[in-house]
Each structure stands twice: as C-alpha cells, then as structure tokens.
C-alpha cells in the first residue's frame, strides 16, 4: 500500500495516472473526450431505484450526473490486490 501511495515506479504499469490531484485532473481531462449518454444513465438509475425514496440531496446528486462537469470515481476488482475490503479503509484514511 505504501508503494502505491508513494507512486513507486514498479507499480506504474498498473495505473494510467499519477496518484495525486494532478492525476485526477488528467483523468478527468481524458474522460471528457468519451461519449457519454448522461440522460440514459440518470434514467436507468432512477428506474433501478424507483421503489426507494430519495432525499433532496440524493436527487440533486443524481441530477448532477446530467452535467458534463460531473465525474464519478468507480472501483471494481482492483481493490482486491490491496487486501480486499481493507483497501477501502486505507482509502478513507488517505
């Protein structure tokens, strides 16, 4: 974990952007060129959760996905290389 957080060169092939705010900015800049159907995303999420009442804040967050200035960070199986669920605790602490 410390090698990842300190951007150890040996791990550079495992991610595309530096592990810092500049890396996040670079990822967002690159992502802006991807075509995204934001309306479809919002519609599908709304349909998926139609039986669960949203708070005002949740509705605002969902609708913010319509803006081309809104981006999300999504993780999948990658955290498993950092001991599974414990990885999320490290991320929160960091």
What pLDDT, on the 0 to 100 scale, is given for residue 19?
A: 77
What pLDDT, on the 0 to 100 scale, is given for residue 18?
A: 82
What pLDDT, on the 0 to 100 scale, is given for residue 74?
A: 74
Average confidence (pLDDT) over 6-22: 83
Q: Quote the pTM value.
A: 0.61
- Spatial separation of the C-alpha atoms in residues 5 and 23, rounded to whole Å: 12
Name the nearest CA neighbour of 78 among 9, 19, 6: 19
Give the single-character DSSP code of 34: S
Kindly tell me if the per-residue pLDDT of 83 is higher than 80.
no
What digits encode the pLDDT tens for the residues 18-77?
Answer: 878 998 899 999 999 889 999 999 999 999 999 999 999 999 999 999 999 999 887 665
Burial status of residue 33 (CB atoms within 10 A of its CB: 0-12, 13-18, 19 or more):
exposed
**Can you tell me whether residue 92 is helix, strand or coil?**
helix
Kindly tell me if the per-residue pLDDT of 93 is higher than 70.
yes
Contact partners, residue 71, CB within 8 Å, separation at least 6: 28, 31
What pLDDT, on the 0 to 100 scale, is given for residue 61?
A: 95
């Amino acid at each position: 974990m410390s090698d990842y957080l300190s951007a150890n060169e040996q791990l550079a092939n495992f991610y595309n952007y530096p592990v810092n705010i500049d890396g996040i900015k670079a990822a967002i800049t690159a992502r802006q060129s991807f075509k995204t159907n934001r309306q479809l995303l919002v519609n599908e999420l709304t349909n998926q959760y139609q039986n669960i009442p949203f708070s005002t804040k949740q509705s605002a967050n969902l609708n913010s996905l319509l803006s081309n200035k809104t981006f999300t960070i999504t993780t999948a199986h990658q955290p498993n290389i950092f001991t599974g669920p414990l990885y999320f605790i490290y991320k929160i602490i960091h």
